[in-house]
Amino acid sequence: MKYDLIVIGGGASGMCSAIAAARRGASVCILEQGKLPGRKLLATGNGKCNYTNELMDASYFRSDDPAGIGAVLEQYPAPAIVAFFEELGIRPMSRNGYLYPASGQASSVRKALEMECRYLKVAIRTEFRAEKAEKLPNGDFQVWSGDACCRGRKLVLSCGSCAAPKTGSDGSGYSLAAQLGHSFIPPVPALVQLECAGKFFRNWSGVRVQGKVTLFTGGKAAGSDQGELQLTEYGISGIPVFQVSRYASKALAGHIPVAVGLNFFPEQNPRKFSEEMSRFLEKQSYKGISDALGGALPEKLTAVLLGRAGIKPDWIWPSIPVSRQRMLLGLMQRFNLEVSGTKGFDSAQVCAGGVRLREICANTMESLLVPGLYLTGELLDADGLCGGYNLHWAWATGLIAGKHAGENL
Ligand SMILES: Cc1cc2nc3c(=O)[nH]c(=O)nc-3n(C[C@H](O)[C@H](O)[C@H](O)COP(=O)(O)OP(=O)(O)OC[C@H]3O[C@@H](n4cnc5c(N)ncnc54)[C@H](O)[C@@H]3O)c2cc1C
């Protein structure tokens, strides 16, 4: 059977493409390599699915060709995505502007999308791994998996990236796009934990502390973010680390040195902080420094800072040489670490890089190189910050592609 539209990849953006096209009367077939469409959705937002954000504009996204991002978001701002999901029965719940389904369950989002596809009679062919995609001389597209073949008048590539391959997407979309003539920026892990050089990490493993992380590439500040930092046995994690990690991945791929500075007291300027902290510690001169800091920093972190400043935990503040006092106060606001790597694609939530946006028309998501071909979601060179931005991009690009692919058939 020949379909009006084939969608490769039954994830977030693929199901949206299929729904938008089928609502316009197109016959649609989704080819999904997994057993279940939208499996990655189940893992999103810690199982709660942060599906969009009230604050939505192009500044929350990164790309080598950022020009097209605004055009996508203008067509589908956050209220349009909320309205789309409300129609599917998903009521929004806002947590400081981060939007989740009121059910608190990512599974409700996945199910609502699949049910809408089924209601619209979208064929969902699971366990079909597209290996080859070609455009035939008559303009049709043909997709192969071994000997099995599927033919359509138009084709949407919604294969995702190579982040979190256990949930389905394994990077095969890049080679399918390349087979059809597209180029892509090599993907690197983003929204990912950072591994750091050093041997002391076991000592601070498990600490969660408020702070600011600033990432330096080649000695220059590339990005910073503030919030709960997680100190781990390999280095650092937590949302602020995720937010800057794409710059680390890109630099490491180019063999550029990467470092981070951690500030555990980011609210105060260094001079004021030194004065206040010194007074605070002086008042507790009857205690060892480790106990004196007990109400200001987690114990394990204090031990690491004291170790680096060469201060014994039972020394009292006035007995500590001034140079070491200064070093300790400095470390509290600028604890430097060399970044040696990331936790890789397996642990990354998304990828930075992908098919170049300059090869796509942002108003329709149609390829500028191959008429009738559309590309969506994380396969493209656009990565959003943590906070619902990546799913928003997936829904918006999917809906735009499906709308245009489903027209004039
Ligand atoms: C742990 C985790 C948590 C996350 N949490 C959030 C969050 O809360 N909010 C947010 O905005 N973003 C979140 N993200 C990111 C978000 O899930 C993705 O950006 C989004 O799912 C991308 O949608 P997509 O349709 O482009 O790709 P995917 O959702 O990855 O879908 C691609 C689909 O294509 C299929 N496929 C791939 N290649 C082939 C092939 N050759 N043949 C057939 N099928 C193929 C895959 O099996 C997959 O089902 C999270 C990601 C992870 C890993």
- CATH number for position 92: 3.50.50.60
- Domain span at residue 116 reads 2-189+352-405
Do 109 and 50 form a contact (C-beta atoms < 8 A)? Answer: no
- The size of the chain, in residues, is 409
Atom of ligand 1 nearest to the CA of 176: 41
Residue 320 lies in a domain: yes
Enter the tokens of residue 162.
Answer: 């190579």
Q: What does the pLDDT read at residue 228?
A: 98
H helices present in 254-347, as ranges: 270-282, 289-292, 299-309, 322-333, 344-347
- Rounded Cα distance between 360 and 370, Å, is 10
In the chain, the amino acid numbered 236 is I
Residues 279 and 329 in one domain: yes
| Confidence check: pLDDT of 205 > 90 | yes
> What DSSP line would sit under 205-239, residue for residue?
TTEEEEEEEEEEETTEEEEEEEEEEEE-SSEEESH
Regarding whether 279 and 135 lie in a shared domain, the answer is no
Q: Give the confidence band of 120 by pLDDT, cuts at 50, 70, 90.
A: very high
User: Has residue 347 been placed in a domain?
Assistant: no
Q: How far is the CA of 163 from the centre of ligand 1 (A)?
A: 8
> Are 204 and 101 members of one domain?
no
Q: Ligand 1 centroid vs 14 CA: distance in angstroms?
A: 10
Statement: residue 158 has pLDDT above 90: yes
CA distance 237 to 224: 14
**Whole-number CA gyration radius for the chain:** 25
Distance, CA 351 to ligand 1 centroid (Å)?
10
In the prediction, which pLDDT does 266 show? 97
Same domain, 107 and 221: no
The continuous run of DSSP H or E covering 200 comes out as: none
Q: Atom of ligand 1 at shortest distance to CA of 394?
A: 23
Pick the last residue of a domain from 342, 364, 396. Answer: 342
Q: Name residues contacting ligand 1 (CB within 6 A).
A: 8-14, 31-34, 39-40, 43-45, 49-50, 128-130, 158-160, 163-164, 167-169, 172-173, 349-350, 377-379, 388-391, 394
Q: How many whole angstroms separate alpha carbon 279 and alpha carbon 285?
A: 10
46 lies in the same domain as 182: yes
Dihedrals phi, psi of 219, to nearest 5 degrees: 85, -5
The answer on pLDDT for 408 being more than 90 is no
Task: Report CA torsion sign: 180, 71, 32, 384.
Answer: positive
For ligand 1, mutation pick of 51, 390, 399, 400 (most atoms within 8 Å of CB): 390
Closest ligand 1 atom to the C-alpha of 52? 11
**Whether residue 391 has pLDDT greater than 90:** yes
Q: How far is the centre of ligand 1, averaged over its atoms, from the C-alpha of 323 (Å)?
A: 51
Q: Is residue 97 situated within a structural domain? A: yes
pLDDT digits (tens, 9 = 90+) for 306-321: 999 999 999 999 999 9
